[in-house]
Structure 1
Amino acid sequence: MSQQPARPYRILVTGSRDWPDEQTIHVALAEVVSVIPADRDITIVHGGCGKGADRIAHRWARQYGAAVEVHYADWNIGRAAGPIRNRTMVNLGADVCLAFIHGRSRGASHCAHIAKLAGIPVRRWEQPGGPVPQPRATPLDEP
């Protein structure tokens, strides 16, 4: 009797568009991955912002061979697009949520909050302050 392969370990990453610390995200992802059995695939789930925490997590996943699942917000529907996208990501499930909050980041805070309510363990990093100058958003796979 053959065994079904284990489903991928899903890491939901939510964070500020202006998250300034790439190293913190790299270390957080490496720590989570270090305790996952080697035969288990990894999927990084994020909201598709071309800068900040989403971009950093996306590039980390590509560098280390993890699958990437991107959920873009449909901003054509208005301000509700972000919360709708967050609910979709949470409803699809995750084994852990890593939240990188810079300043008051309402979107990332909302996603972390509803993940916790859904029973997903949430690890949260916070940095005070306002926006940090960032380069323009570029496609996620560009350097």
Structure 2
Amino acid sequence: MRPYRVLVTGSPKWDDEHLVHRELARSLADAQLAGSALIVTCCRATGAGFIATRWALAMRAIGVLYVLTEPHPSPEGDFAEAPCAAQTVERDAVAECLVFTQQCRRHDCLTTADHLAHGTPQCGALADAAGVPTHRRDDHPVR
């Protein structure tokens, strides 16, 4: 049985738990249909990655033992920026990529035009290029 690995990436300030939970529940249903364990691989220790990790741990706590977490460490020892994670996960090992993106709110960003948070859209593009089915949610405003 091959595990059903979902790569979760998102803007660091993403806070819509309901949307992340809903997407992961759909992924869990897909994994169950495939007869596989769900492995949640997170790119960041904040935002959607943090929410996804908490969801997976909560599933295990209530007895859903076929949901596992897998942090994706970067060379710096923290969670990887999105492009790093997407580049290092082989296509055959990833069932899908969930991308949760907000507008950039970095205080040190020099771009004056509205644009999406740095790194996260690139992860989706890399997953697309590798043939990984990608689900994007980029309509969540920063509160």
TM-score bracket, normalised by the shorter chain, equals: 0.7 to 0.9
Tell me, in whole angstroms, the C-alpha distance in 2 between the residues paired with 1:54 and 1:17. 8
Q: Secondary structure at the match of 2:49?
A: helix
Tell me, in whole angstroms, the C-alpha distance in 1 between the residues paired with 2:90 and 2:51. 20
Q: Residues 31-51 of structure 1: CA distance to partner in whole angstroms, max 9, x if unpaired?
A: 12123336421100111x332
Structure 1's 125 and 9: CA in aligned 2 closer, same or farther, altered over 3 A? same
1:108 and 2:120 equivalent?
A: yes
CA contact (8 A) 2:91 2:131 kept: no
Matches within 5 A, 1:77-96: 82=81, 83-89=83-89, 93-96=93-96
Structure 1's 40 and 128: CA in aligned 2 closer, same or farther, altered over 3 A? closer
User: Any stretches of 5+ residues in structure 2 without a counterpart?
Assistant: 61-66, 104-115
Residue of structure 1 equivalent to 2:42: 46
Tell me, in whole angstroms, the C-alpha distance in 2 between the residues paired with 1:32 and 1:124. 14
- TM-score normalised per structure 2: 0.74
CA contact (8 A) 1:101 1:127 kept: yes
Matches within 5 A, 1:1-143: 6-37=1-32, 39-47=35-43, 49-65=44-60, 66-75=67-76, 82=81, 83-89=83-89, 93-103=93-103, 104-127=116-139, 129=141, 132=143
Tell me, in whole angstroms, the C-alpha distance in 2 between the residues paired with 1:124 and 1:26. 14
How far apart are residue 71 of structure 1 and its match? Answer: 1.1
User: Any stretches of 5+ residues in structure 1 without a counterpart?
Assistant: 1-5, 133-143
How far apart are residue 55 of structure 1 and its match? Answer: 0.2
Q: Residues 95-138 of structure 1: CA distance to partner in whole angstroms, max 9, x if unpaired?
A: 01111011112211111110000000000001365x54xxxxxx
Matched-pair identity in %: 31
One-letter amino acid of the counterpart of residue 132, structure 2: I
Q: Secondary structure at the match of 1:18?
A: coil
Q: Secondary structure at the match of 1:97?
A: strand
Number of residue pairs matched by the alignment? 121
RMSD between aligned alpha carbons? Answer: 2.1
- TM-score normalised per structure 1: 0.74
Tell me, in whole angstroms, the C-alpha distance in 2 between the residues paired with 1:128 and 1:28. 14
